[in-house]
Amino acid sequence: MAEREQDFAQLSAEILDLKKKHNAIILSHLYQRPEVQDVADYIGDSLGLSQEAAKTGAEVIVFCGVHFMAETAAILSPGKTVLLPEVNAGCPMADMVTAEALRAKKREYPDAVVVCYVNSSADVKAESDICCTSANAVKIVRSVPVDKPVLFVPDRNLGNYVGVKSGRQIIYWEGYCNTHDKLTVDDILQAKESHPGATVMVHPECRPEVVALADQIFSTSGMIKFARGNEAAEYIIGTEMGILHQLYKECPGKKFYIASNKLICPNMKATTLQKVKWALEEMQPRVMVPEAIREKALGAVERMITVK
């Protein structure tokens, strides 16, 4: 372990030098490996990270996450170089909807307003009317005129949660997060039996029957904010286990139990410190979004931001 920590320290120092050399900023999603989170300038949810990066004077953005996240950074920061250290880090849920398939569905429901979860490709965002995050999805759907049907893509579980909370009729796309969808009622019940006094927090990408058993439903950053400000000392966490690293850092003295050991996203864990170093050395792999697509996708993101 000591040798591994020494390797991490050496790589981190080399990454810091390369970051300064290239005027770069490193972003890490909360599901990344702990050592990757520790080398980042910003750690958080995907859209929030892209928004933070866009505010900075950095010329290079290294996004430790998955492909759609790097695309979002490119959408919001067209003048910056966006690097994705692991080129094959994709999102199965984002891949469950394509622009072509969405256009076909829009022809079926020509009056529908397309609300697109940010966990989607730039092409799909460009075909959508407005984006949402897991934190603001209910507010965004409520902002749609009541005489308009809502087509929600691509996550059926988040869509179901939003439909219940907003009271709106929603046409769901049949996509889902491979990681969150693995969490079952039995997993939650067993975790509660093992930790009877713990507060159960789950992500709204989980199945409806799992969400129904939770005490709190939050996005990843929402979970951290709640745990930081709440008096409860123990929590059962129903999201990808990478979040535990920041929960323990930001909430000293509190205990966190992952709801299931199945909650690991292999795509999120594909990025390593060595790959971050290589990306900064080679200025590759670079993620770019064609300007015509970028402008349309940006419109969907900006319409979301204007909703109060």
- Predicted confidence (pLDDT) per residue in 241-289, tens digit: 999 999 999 999 999 999 999 999 999 999 999 999 999 999 999 999 9
Instruction: Write out the H or E segment, with its range, that includes residue 118.
Output: none
Q: Residue 170 carries which DSSP code? A: E
Tell me the residue type at 228: R
- For the chain (308 residues), the mean pLDDT of every run of 10, in chain order, is 74 96 98 98 95 97 98 97 97 98 98 98 98 97 96 98 95 97 98 97 98 98 97 97 98 97 98 97 98 98 94
CA dist., res. 44 & res. 223, Å (int): 11
Answer yes or no: are the C-beta atoms of 61 and 27 closer than 8 Å.
Answer: yes
CA dist., res. 212 & res. 231, Å (int): 22
CA dist., res. 188 & res. 236, Å (int): 8
Domains of the chain, first to last:
2-90+268-288 (3.40.50.10800), 94-177 (3.40.50.10800), 180-258 (3.40.50.10800)
CA dist., res. 190 & res. 270, Å (int): 29
Helix, strand, coil tally for the chain in percent (to 5): 45, 15, 35
Q: What is the pLDDT of residue 6?
A: 73
Q: Under the phi-then-psi rule, with left for phi > 0, alpha for psi from -120 to 50, and beta for the rest, what region is 38?
A: alpha
Q: Residue 215 carries which DSSP code? A: S
> Is the Cα torsion angle 286, 292, 295, 297 positive or negative in sign?
negative
Return the closest-CA partner of residue 255 out of 215, 222, 213, 227: 227
Q: What is the pLDDT of residue 2?
A: 54
Q: What is the pLDDT of residue 4?
A: 77
CA dist., res. 11 & res. 206, Å (int): 36
CA dist., res. 308 & res. 306, Å (int): 6
CA dist., res. 207 & res. 71, Å (int): 27
Sheet containing 81-83: give its strands across: 42-44, 24-29, 60-64, 81-83
Q: What is the pLDDT of residue 215?
A: 98
